[in-house]
A and B are shown apart, each in its own frame.
Chain A
Amino acid sequence: GENVEQHPSTLSVQEGDSAVIKCTYSDSASNYFPWYKQELGKRPQLIIDIRSNVGEKKDQRIAVTLNKTAKHFSLHITETQPEDSAVYFCAAKDAGKSTFGDGTTLTVKP
């Protein structure tokens, strides 16, 4: 089955710096890759997603890149703000199954 590995598990940056979180997946059949932000005690919320026929997608300060050959995808957050502090999860989806990474705890220091 699919295996998703996410790195790093914790990430601390200064406000205004960039943050990068990387994920690798094992199943080449996976073709949808969402990223979720989960604040303490709250539900995961989609922040950006990318499909396998696209290499890069950007939404304001957030971007995602996908390398299908290497089976990895990354989340890039620029100009980080304290409110970006949360746990971020990547996921890979194929047909009826989604596999999540173990999460990255991002702390943005003011």
Chain B
Amino acid sequence: ETGVTQSPTHLIKTRGQQVTLRCSSQSGHNTVSWYQQALGQGPQFIFQYYREEENGRGNFPPRFSGLQFPNYSSELNVNALELDDSALYLCASSIEGPDSGAPYNEQFFGPGTRLTVL
């Protein structure tokens, strides 16, 4: 069983650019959630993907978008980068839905991507 992985580990971009972050979910997991964690704060929920569909979204503007692929890996895309987008971006995978055996299940976090916007 492999854990959650993310790429790249670090990224430096300039204001106005676009970025794509990637997440491979843990084997057997069908759900990926993305979080933004600014320094000294708790993770802020961006959105969740369940079986390739977005099924929950936090208070982030539309320039934050995502995808989930048939193998349940996921991408987070951020357009028109702003200085305040500098943060650690975490993804977490879990098993959700009627086949999971429980209403909600443990999320396993990846190591994160540190994004710096200059």
Contact = CB atoms under 8 A, between A and B. Distances in A.
B33 interface: yes
B98 interface: no
Contact of B104 (A32, A102, A103): A32
B107 A46 contact: yes
A43 B106 contact: no
Contacts of B45: 97-100
A68 interface: no
Contacts, number: 57
Interface stretch (B14-22, B49-57, B61-69, B74-82): B49-57
Interface string A67-110: 00000000000000000000001010101111111110000000
Interface majority SS (helix, strand, loop, mixed), chain A: strand
A101 B106 CA distance: 17
Contacts of A32: 103-104
Nearest to B104: A32
A72 to B, nearest CB: 17
Interface in B3-23: none
A97 B58 CA distance: 7
Contacts of A101: 42
A97 B42 contact: no
Contacts of A34: 106-107
Interface of B: 33, 35, 40-45, 48, 50, 55-59, 90, 102-104, 106-112
8 contacts: A1-B59, A31-B104, A46-B107, A51-B104, A97-B58, A98-B107, A102-B41, A103-B40
Interface of A: 1, 6, 31-32, 34, 42-46, 49, 51, 89, 91, 93, 95-103
